[in-house]
Amino acid sequence: MANNRPKEAWQPLTFGGVARFAVASRWRLLAVELVFAFLVAATAVWFVQQAWLPVIDEAIKQMPPTGEIRGGRLAWPSDAVLLQEGPFMRIDVRPGGFTNVEESADLVLAFGPSDLRVGSSLGLGLLTVPYPMGWILFFSKTELEPWWGARSHMVLAGFGLLVILTLLCAWSALGWLYMVPVKIFSVNRVSWAGAKKIAIAAQMPSVLVMIAGIVLYGLKQINLVALLAVWGVHLVLPWVYLMFSPILAPKPLKPKAKAKKNKAKLKMNDNPFDESSENSGNPFGRD
């Protein structure tokens, strides 16, 4: 007798694999999301650790022994200038101000007398962030070196956790947004809940594309422009799955079909020649 039960969902990499999540439990989908979110977080932490942390460590070692940001101003010795640059990041501190911020790295952090300027080698301009007026921030080697040395791993762990939570929230929001086209493409084959599950599962293949892009960028195999191109592909790829996966979604059994199936199952079990069923009505057992 053929088994018409739909296969269980376990991988969201093929059209059929994504489609099976339409009838999977929410917990199974969440478990898959957590696996993919963890992979992204681990990749992002690896990149920050090998690309940005060495520059930050060296910059802290070059800071003067005293200094702080107080009242929205950088309080540093007037002759103190800091410049630390790596292949991915540049930190420049000039308490006297900048005549021109050199955007020679993919991420540039330029600390001026009253603001932080963030830019990149793409030449898209600088984002200016004023220093907070009511805060006192330590900005010296004496204070930052022991603090950063004791907490850098905790900062990385917190960054990884933030990536996981951000991805889960983003995928949930995209699930609500994309479940309408999924419902349309499925021609009413799946329910609204199933359409949302397919919409979320369809994001997972693009996650692997983005992970590959970050790894290649971290290994200097591609530049920042190519990484942005990978990001664009990662945004478009889910739509391919949104169009084709709903067509392959297993159709849930209708209530009438379920009742008919259960009735047939009861008839098969009600066998008049079955000794166990005959003895079940005889309190004295067999003669």
pLDDT at 187: 77
Q: Domain limits at 22? A: 15-49+152-248
Helix axes 192-201, 26-51, angle to 10 degrees: 20
184 and 243 Cβ atoms separated by less than 8 Å? no
The stretch 218-223 carries a mean pLDDT of 94
Q: How confident is the model at residue 146 (pLDDT cuts 50, 70, 90)?
A: very high
Both 232 and 95 in one domain: the answer is no
123 and 103 Cβ atoms separated by less than 8 Å? yes
> What are 128's strand-pairing partners?
117
The stretch 173-188 carries a mean pLDDT of 88
Nearest to 189 by CA among 240, 254, 239, 237: 254
The CA distances from residue 172 to 90, 114, 166, 167, 175, in Å, are: 35, 39, 10, 8, 5
Transcribe 91-135 into DSSP letters: EEE-TT--S-----SSEEEEE-SSEEEEE-TT----EEEEPPSS-
pLDDT at 260: 53
118 and 109 Cβ atoms separated by less than 8 Å? yes
Domain count, the chain: 2
Both 95 and 237 in one domain: the answer is no
The stretch 209-226 carries a mean pLDDT of 95
Q: How confident is the model at residue 54 (pLDDT cuts 50, 70, 90)?
A: very high
**Last residue in a domain, options 86, 107, 139:** 139
Domain assignment present for residue 255? The answer is: no
Both 168 and 238 in one domain: the answer is yes
Domain assignment present for residue 81? The answer is: yes
Note the pLDDT tens digit of each residue in 232-257: 999 999 999 999 988 887 766 555 54
Note the pLDDT tens digit of each residue in 98-144: 777 777 789 999 999 999 999 888 877 789 999 998 888 989 999 99
Look at 150-159, 172-181, 204-213, 256-265 and tell me which has the smallest mean pLDDT: 256-265
Domain assignment present for residue 264? The answer is: no
Contacts of 242 (CB under 8 A, 6+ apart): 178, 181, 182, 185, 198, 199, 202
pLDDT at 278: 44
CA distance 6 to 236: 29
The yes-or-no verdict on residue 34 having pLDDT over 80 is yes
User: What's the whole-model pTM score?
Assistant: 0.80
